[in-house]
């Protein structure tokens, strides 16, 4: 593992970004007239951004080798493709 140093200022900046993203999530979720599709997509994007910030800075994955990032990203991408393929016909099967 590579040597790294994190300052309290860096943690504060990341925490502020997490706070802003959480406030945006609450704002989007409670805003009237937002379509369900837009709501789901925007909340998923913001949740993914928050998860990435936590993983990169608080779990110190930012300092790992780039190959680890490729392995994690490709695994998550494949898993999302499999889940999408498996559930894409679920509404039709239930007569929804």
Show me where the domains of the chain are located.
7-63, 64-96
What pLDDT does residue 93 have?
57
pLDDT score of 91 more than 70 = no
Predicted TM-score (pTM) above 0.85 = no
Cβ neighbours of 57 (radius 10 Å): 19
**Mean pLDDT value across residues 41-48:** 91
Q: Model confidence over 46-89: pLDDT tens digits?
A: 999 999 889 888 888 887 888 887 888 888 889 888 888 887 77
> What is the rounded distance in angstroms from the CA atom of residue 77 to the CA atom of residue 61?
18
Per-residue pLDDT, 27 = 95
Task: Supply 52's token pair.
Answer: 């990435």
Band of pLDDT at residue 96, cut at 50, 70 and 90: low
């Amino acid at each position: 593992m590579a040597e790294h140093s994190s300052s309290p200022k860096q943690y504060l900046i990341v925490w502020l970004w997490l706070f802003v993203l959480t406030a945006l999530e609450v704002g989007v979720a409670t805003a009237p007239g937002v379509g369900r599709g837009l709501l789901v997509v925007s909340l998923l994007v913001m949740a993914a951004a928050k998860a990435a910030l936590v993983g990169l800075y608080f779990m110190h994955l930012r300092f790992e080798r780039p190959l680890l990032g490729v392995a994690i990203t490709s695994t998550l991408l494949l898993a999302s493709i499999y889940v999408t393929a498996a559930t894409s016909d679920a509404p039709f099967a239930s007569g929804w």
